[in-house]
């Protein structure tokens, strides 16, 4: 996959693929190209019968600062790629276009990655902010370094939560509310205690630890792994996850419209003026 600009793809061990976000100069903030390149890498690993486990990692100090707010026009970049879903009208005016864009690009991709039939492991260091959660939460396992921190700061932006609204299933209902209400970071040990993270390890040992875990899983029969994953995902969905996520996504879009009417932009302007890295990360 030599033509990828923001993602790297390797096979560090037998039956293991490793996908790396490679935009560290922007704290791995996600523009449209990065997300579709990531999807292409996931597609390659999913379609390769010799791959049993997929690792998602990131270059640099931070895993991901979220969506890149400097890329305000999503419709143009989206038009360069084949959509993964059936939504259309990305260039339509008002809420119609914005909802279509985010249904395709954010909720659509995250849900697609969550349902890849092979086990996936997120290898996480540094900060993971809002849109960054939409990369790690679709993964089956999360291994974090001791310096990892997780936050959804969308309420501070005048929005009700990230598009992939998995918060109650990751943290429990009360902790999910606190995460959203405060926009505070959750450290790695707290995330482990709450069940969002499988393991916390020293940063220097992170990649080796994840690769060892992936190799141990990859030795199991792949068909059994696929069905075990499907069974657990089905249990989660039977608890109402899918319907709740669709409702949360609709409320997210209502927030965008509300902000557009009041402020002329999709987020509250007070957030951008207060952000230490203006325009990068949501």
- All structural domains of the chain: 7-274 (3.90.226.10)
Digit-by-digit pLDDT tens for the chain (282 residues) are 668 999 999 999 999 999 999 999 999 999 999 999 999 999 999 999 999 999 999 999 999 999 998 898 899 999 999 999 999 999 999 999 999 999 999 999 999 999 999 999 999 999 999 999 999 999 999 999 999 999 999 999 999 999 999 999 999 999 999 999 999 999 999 999 999 999 999 999 999 999 999 999 999 999 999 999 999 999 999 999 999 999 999 999 999 999 999 999 999 998 876 654 433 455
| Whole-number Å distance between alpha carbons of 124 and 133 | 10
| Whole-number Å distance between alpha carbons of 186 and 159 | 19
| Whole-number Å distance between alpha carbons of 24 and 199 | 24
52 φ/ψ sector (left φ>0, alpha ψ -120 to 50, else beta): alpha
Residue 278: the pLDDT is: 38
Give the residue among 28, 30, 29, 39 at the shortest CA–CA distance from 4.
39
Residue 275: the pLDDT is: 56
For residue 139, give the DSSP letter. Answer: S
Angle at 68 between CA 275 and CA 31, to 5 degrees: 170
Phi, psi of 107 (to 5 degrees): -60, -45
- Hey, what's the torsion of the CAs at 262, 265, 271, 275, to 10 degrees? -160
* Overall pTM > 0.85: yes
- 242's enclosing H/E stretch is helix 241-263
| Whole-number Å distance between alpha carbons of 62 and 251 | 29
Residue 271: the pLDDT is: 84
């Amino acid at each position: 996959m030599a033509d990828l600009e923001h993602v790297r793809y390797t096979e560090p061990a037998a039956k293991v693929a490793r996908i790396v976000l490679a935009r560290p100069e922007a704290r791995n903030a996600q523009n449209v190209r990065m997300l579709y390149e990531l999807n292409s890498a996931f597609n390659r690993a999913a379609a390769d019968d010799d791959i049993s486990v997929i690792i998602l990692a990131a270059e640099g100090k931070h895993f991901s600062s979220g969506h890149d707010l400097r890329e305000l026009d999503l419709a143009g970049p989206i038009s360069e790629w084949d959509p993964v879903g059936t939504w259309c009208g990305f260039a339509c005016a008002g809420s119609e276009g914005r909802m279509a864009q985010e249904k395709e690009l954010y909720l659509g991709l995250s849900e697609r990655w969550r349902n890849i039939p092979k086990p996936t492991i997120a290898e996480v260091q540094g900060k993971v902010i809002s849109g960054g959660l939409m990369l790690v939460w679709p993964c089956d396992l999360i291994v974090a370094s001791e310096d990892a921190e997780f936050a959804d700061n969308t309420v501070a932006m005048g929005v009700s939560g990230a598009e992939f609204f998995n918060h109650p299933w990751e943290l429990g209902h009360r902790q999910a509310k606190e995460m959203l209400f405060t926009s505070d970071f959750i450290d790695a040990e707290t995330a482990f205690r709450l069940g969002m993270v499988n393991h916390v390890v020293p940063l220097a040992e992170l990649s080796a630890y994840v690769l060892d875990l992936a190799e141990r899983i990859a030795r199991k029969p792949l068909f059994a792994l696929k069905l075990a994953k499907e069974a657990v995902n089905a249990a989660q969905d039977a608890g109402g996850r899918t319907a709740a996520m669709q409702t949360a996504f609709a409320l997210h879009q209502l927030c965008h419209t509300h902000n557009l009417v009041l402020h002329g932009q999709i987020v509250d302007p007070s957030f951008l003026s207060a952000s230490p890295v203006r325009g990068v990360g949501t």
